[in-house]
Amino acid sequence: MYAARVSPALNARSLYAKHTSQAPFSRAVNTFNRRPTRASLIIRAAKDSNGPRVAIAGVSGAVGQEFIRVLTERHFPYSDVKMLASSRSAGKEVVFDGETYVIEELTEQSFDGVDIALFSAGGSISKKFGPIAARKGCFVVDNSSAFRMTDGIPLVIPEVNPEAMADYKLGKKKGGIIANPNCSTIIALMAVTPIHRAVGVKRMIASTYQAASGAGALAMAELEQQTRDVLNGDPVTMNVFSWQYAFNLFSHNAPMTNNGYNEEEMKMVNETKKIWGTDDVSIAATCIRVPVMRAHAESINLTLCSELDELDAKELLSKAAGLKIIDDRANNRFPTPLEASDKDDVFVGRIRQDISQPGKLGLELFVCGDQIKKGAALNAVQIAELLL
């Protein structure tokens, strides 16, 4: 393996923008500075004096940028918006809904008068500022893992368990925190929950193929840089991971736990049980980072509580919100991360009976979902919509 450490001159931001349909930031952050097109003129968030006052914490990160885009695409109503980030990004500009905002440094005072705050600034920032914001009456939708397993904090996929936040409504309750699940959990449960609701899932074994975006914009930049390095015959640049990423794959970079599963794998186990509200399901996962830019893929093997024919499973999944089936055996056409990239829906295919299990008690699926969208920003904005 080639190995070299070079200056971190990777232009992560422009790279991130390249892998979305949006333009790079201006002087750091500028989501909508692309030439006005028909679409960009039509797609606008809904500024409305009766709308909630919104804040985005971590606006300069990959998910923060996607928050802006998704709020805009979904015409999320707002009367005011605050762009928040660390002191490093404070003072830079971001364009949202045709207006330019100066990014403010995130402080305890940032949430005064804010109704809904979307957080994606890392676990320690969420731990520190999430409760402060909630005490001030703000609803925090948190994309970090800080509160996901905390009792009393709903962990929500809107298509799966909206009832978990039934009491959380603007005007009804005075603030609170709602956690956004981990991307791999969201993408798996979008496909598996309709089956679980219909016949019960007894056991789920997931093997993931996770994109660079899940490790952040710098990891995406590293993948691109290394690909260039290898093709040019140069030593590979390694700033984010300590091993080669391009033309390779490796066990997920999350810290290892005592049982030999890493934290990413245990998130899948624990979050699924919390979201489904049961301990009565056996789950194991193997999470792998693959050289794909922004959509995760997962192979999922299920043992069911009662029999389900693969055609009935397909029929069931075809009716599920937020899910699209690509399952063309004749042409070997199934979901791919590239096709799922930049899409709201999660794609499912390879829907087939597991021949290693008796009767029709076993089912196999392959899912792909955009990690930054449904795996993060879109799910969080959908949670925010449930607050309205």
Residues with a catalytic annotation lie at 183, 296
Q: What is the DSSP string of 79-127?
A: SEEEEEE-TTTTT-EEEETTEEEEPEEP-GGGGTT-SEEEE-S-HHHHH
Q: What are phi and psi of 9, to 5 degrees?
A: -85, 20
Amino acid at 27: R
Does 179 bind ligand 2RA (CB under 6 A)? Our answer is no
Which DSSP helix (H) or strand (E) runs through 167?
none
- Kindly report the number of other CB atoms within 10 A of residue 344's CB atom: 16
Interface with ligand 2RA includes 22 (CB under 6 A)? Answer: no
Angle between helix axes 183-199 and 263-276 (nearest 10 degrees) is: 40
Does 264 engage in binding with ligand 2RA (CB under 6 A)?
Answer: yes
Q: Beta strands 282-289 and 201-210: pairing type? A: parallel
Alpha helices in 200-336 (DSSP H): 217-232, 263-276, 310-318
Among residues 71, 153, 160, 183, the one that binds ligand 2RA under rule CB under 6 A: 183
DSSP annotation of 213: G
Site for ligand 2RA in 271-330 (CB under 6 A): none
- Taking the least distance from each CB to ligand 2RA, the nearer of 175 and 322 is 322
Which range, of 74-82, 209-217, 309-317, 355-363, touches ligand 2RA by CB under 6 A?
Answer: 209-217
Contact call for residue 185 and ligand 2RA (CB under 6 A): no
- Taking residue 378's Cβ as centre, other Cβ atoms within 10 Å add up to 26
- For the window 353-372, what string marks contact with ligand 2RA as x by the rule CB under 6 A? ------------------x-
Piece of the chain touching ligand 2RA by CB under 6 A; list 66-74, 173-181, 210-218, 299-307: 210-218
Instruction: List the one residue from 31, 65, 72, 210 that touches ligand 2RA (CB under 6 A).
Output: 210
Site for ligand 2RA in 211-240 (CB under 6 A): 214-215
> Does the protein bind ligand 2RA through residue 335 (CB under 6 A)?
no
The amino acid at residue 17 is: A
**Count of alpha carbons within 13 angstroms of residue 176, beta-carbon side:** 22
**Contact range with ligand 2RA by CB under 6 A, out of 38-46, 100-108, 131-139, 208-216:** 208-216
Q: How far is CA 302 from the centre of its chain?
A: 23
Nearer to ligand 2RA, 15 or 114 (CB): 15
Taking alpha carbons only, the member of 120, 114, 151 closest to residue 135 is 114
Considering only the stretches 16-24, 119-127, 207-215, 274-282, report the one whose residues sit in contact with ligand 2RA under the rule CB under 6 A: 207-215
Q: Which of 126, 182, 237, 262 binds ligand 2RA (CB under 6 A)?
A: 182
- Residue with nearest beta carbon to ligand 2RA: 214
